[in-house]
Amino acid sequence: MKQKLTIAVASGKGGTGKTTVSASLACAAADAGYKAAYLDCDVEEPNGHLFLKPSIDCRHMVGIPVPVVDQEKCIDCGLCGEICQFSAIVCINKNVLTFDKMCHGCGGCSLVCPTGAITVKSRNIGVVETGDCGNLRFCRGKLNVGEALSPPLIKAVRSTGRDDELNIVDASPGASCPVIAAIKGVDYVLLVTEPTPFGINDLEIAVDMVKELRIPLAVVVNRSVPEYTLARDFCRDKNIKILAEIPDDRRVAEAYSRGKLPYSGVPGYRELFAGLLDTAMKEAGQ
């Protein structure tokens, strides 16, 4: 590998097999001798650990800066409330009220305060855990229950990627802010889909998102059945490469139910994912 390479695995909808693909690719990379890391950025529901079974050796809390107001210094100018786009700080009847869970941590309120009445404190939103699964480095984020603001935690997970590693990012499903935080700046995106009308509808949304970010992409079709051509037709019409088709195989579902990846638990799939990894790296320019 010439330099740090980051491949993100995403999907337009949940349940397409995104974690199965990303975790299997990470295992294939480690077995091929790469210095590799699996970064679980699906922080609202991380489940890569169920299959990789890492030994966690480090945990650290992640927070965002939220405002603290010194009422004695405050002159009730209202500038803090005017600059806040999320109504996390408001001035009412000469009192400044703050709402920590609405704050996005931009710090704008403290910058515009003319008297220095606003300082910041850290509000915990989740935890980053790191460890190892044999030769594979493992990292995941776990968002606090009830917390709505996940991008800062996702960015913290992404920041653990090292310059000499092949990083496999398991992104959140969908096409909203958490996904963008997970895939922004990666070298290549694999979009996992299934050959159903719902799957293709959400794949189209995800493709538009990735193209807007100007990131090279390809598709992996999971639960593929030869006579179901929706995914192939869509990718042909959009001039998108399909790098692999994973068969609709009962053995994969049985392995999944036992907490095993098809890569290691089903004969023949080790070669499939090793080939997918090689192809994806070539497509990414490595």
CATH number at residue 74: 3.30.70.20
Last residue of a domain, one of 93, 124, 155: 124
Asked if 30 and 169 sit in the same domain, the reply is yes
The residue-averaged pLDDT of 159-174 equals: 94
- Looking at the predicted structure, is the pLDDT value of residue 189 above 60? yes
pLDDT of residue 286: 67
pLDDT of residue 55: 97
Question: What percent of the chain is predicted at pLDDT more than 70?
Answer: 99
- Looking at the predicted structure, is the pLDDT value of residue 2 above 80? no
- Looking at the predicted structure, is the pLDDT value of residue 231 above 80? yes
Cβ atoms 43, 154 nearer than 8 A: yes
**What average pLDDT does the chain have?**
94
Q: How many helices (H) and strands (E) does the chain have?
A: 11, 11
CB atoms within 10 A of CB 47: 13
Last residue of a domain, one of 124, 156, 173: 124
Please tell me the distance from the alpha carbon of residue 274 to that of residue 32, in angstroms, as a whole number: 8
* Angle at 49 (CA atoms; ends 104, 129), nearest 5 degrees: 45
3-state secondary structure of 86: coil
Please tell me the distance from the alpha carbon of residue 205 to that of residue 201, in angstroms, as a whole number: 7
Asked if residue 45 belongs to a domain, the reply is no
Asked if 28 and 170 sit in the same domain, the reply is yes
The residue-averaged pLDDT of 140-153 equals: 95
pLDDT of residue 8: 98
Please tell me the distance from the alpha carbon of residue 184 to that of residue 195, in angstroms, as a whole number: 26
